[in-house]
Amino acid sequence: TRQPHIGARPRAIAVNAADILWNDHGLYQARYQKTGAALIAISQALDRNRPLGGAESEFLELYQRVAAADSDAFTTVWCDPTAYFWVRLASEYVGNCLAPAPPSLLAESAARARGVSDSKSALKAHLADFKRFVLALGIVAGTDQTFLTPLEVMLPFAIPSSRLVISGDGKLLIDALADGHLEVTRDGNKLRLPLTASSIDSLKVRESPVAVAQDYSLTLQPEAFNLPGLKEGEPLRLVPPSFQSEQVSLTARALELIHRHCPATFEHFRQVIRLIALKSSGIGDYSNISHSDLPGCFVVTVANDPYIMADFFIHEFHHNRFFFVEELGAFFAHERDNLMTRSDYYSPFRDDLRPLHGILHGLYVYLAVWRFYFAVYRSGETSGLRRAAVSDQVALISTQLAIAVAQLKRFAQFTQLGAELFEAMADESARIQEMTRSLKFPGHLPSIRCGDDGAFSIRCEEGGDLPLTVKRAILRHAEQYDLHRQCDDLDSIIRASFARD
C-alpha cells in the first residue's frame, strides 16, 4: 500500500542505481532524519500560526519534553514504524488547516475513525495521540510522564518501541506513567497497571513474543497495527495473542534461511524491520502487505514451511526498502503513475490489473526473491517436492521478471531516476534469465503448490489429472488476467527461461 510521502526531495546528482537498489544503508537514516525534521517543522508551524486557537498548547509542551530528552532514547522511539505514520498524518492535517485542501484517503479514514470530520477537529485529535510517543519515551528513558489530558487509545494497544501490549476491549485512558506503573482510567475507575505481565479488571499487560536469529530479535506484534484509519490493521484484532507465540520457531527458521542464503539481505532486514504481524489465511481480505507509511514492519499470512516464509519475508522487506528508495524522488514522469490509483496493466505477479508503480515494485521485490530460491537450488539442501517447488520458483520468477520488464518498457515513461533504476533492474532480469536457462529446466517442469499447512503438491490442469507445467501456468495466467492483451511476446519470453524440449 502506498500513500503520498512527506515531501520527497528532488534528486540532483547522478548515482549508482545498483547501489541504491541493493546496498545503500544510508537510505534508512535519511528517512528517519526526515521524520525528525518533519516533527520540528510541525511544532514550528503550530507555534507560529496557532490554527487551533490555543488547543495546540499541550502538544507544544509535550514536544518540548521530547526535544529535551536523551537523544538515544528519542532515536529508539522515533524509529518505531508508527512514528512515521503519525508524522505523515500530522503534516497533512497541519497543512490542511493552514491551506485547505481535499484530504487523502488515509487522512479521511483516520478522521472518520476518531469521529471527526473537519480539518481542525482532525488535527486536534491527532495531536493528542502524540502522547503515545511521550509515553514510550518515558519507558525507554526511565522517566515519569504526566499528561494534562489523558491519552485515549483503542485496545489492544502496543506501546511504541516496546514489546508491551495492553489487551482488552474498547477504550482506555492513560493519565500518567509513574514508578513503573501506568495510571489509567477504565469505565470511570482509576487503576494502576504495572509494566509487567499482569491482569487487572479485564485488562491484561503482556509482552509480545520475539523470534531470534543470530543476535537479531524480531518482535511479533499485530497490535502495533491497531491505528486509527489503518484498515489493514482491523482484521488483525481477530488474531489471538497465542498465534504469534506459536509461530516463533517457524519465524526463526525462516530468518536463519535468509541469513544462510542471502546474508546481505539479512543485514539490511535486521537494520530496518522492527516488528511484524502474522495471521492465518482466513483473516482479512489480503495475504501479505507492507504499508508505505509504516516503514519497518509488515504483515504476513503464515504458510507452515520455513522456505516459503523466508520468501515472504524477503518480499515484504524489499517493499519496505523500495519505500525508502522512493524518498529520493519520483520514478515516473506522469504523477498519476507514481500512485497506486490507475490499474490498467497486466502484471505477471498478481491476479488483477495493476498500476505501473505496482509492477515496478513487483519487479524489484521478485529480483530479490529469485536470488533466494536460486541460492537454495544451488545449495542442494532440499529434496523431493520441496526441491521441485524451488525449481518451480526459479523458473517461474525468472519468466515473470522478463514479462514485467517488457510491460514497463512498453508503457512506462520514467524520470531520470526511475529510468536509471529500471535499467539496472532490467539488466539484472536479463542476467537472471541467462542463469535460469543454464540450469536446463525441461519444458515439462511441474508447477508446485504449497498449502497453508506446509504440504507440497503438483498442480493439475483444470478439469483433469494432467500435471500443470510451469510453462502452462504462465500462459494460463496471462490468458485469464491479461484483459487488454498487452503481452504479445510471451512465447519468446518463456523460451528464454527453459531448455529446448
pLDDT tens by residue, 381-429 = 999 999 999 999 999 999 999 999 999 999 999 999 999 999 999 999 9
Give the 3-state secondary structure of residue 3.
coil
**What is the C-alpha to C-alpha distance for residues 171 and 151, in angstroms, rounded to an integer?**
10
User: Averaged over 128-142, what is the pLDDT?
Assistant: 97
For the stretch 202-221, pLDDT in tens is: 899 999 999 999 999 999 99
Using the predicted structure, report yes or no on whether residue 7 has a pLDDT greater than 50.
Answer: no
pTM for the model stands at 0.94
Grid cell 485512558 is found at 173
Q: Report the first-to-last Cα separation within the chain, whole angstroms.
A: 41
User: Averaged over 369-379, what is the pLDDT?
Assistant: 98
Q: Strand order in 164-167's β-sheet? A: 157-158, 164-167, 203-207, 198-200
**What is the C-alpha to C-alpha distance for residues 487 and 475, in angstroms, rounded to an integer?**
10
Give the 3-state secondary structure of residue 401.
helix
For all residues of the chain together, what is the average pLDDT? 93
Task: Give the bridge partners for 166, in sequence order.
Answer: 157, 205
For the stretch 448-462, pLDDT in tens is: 999 888 899 999 988
Nearest to 137 by CA among 167, 164, 160, 165: 160
Q: Which amino acid is at 98?
A: L
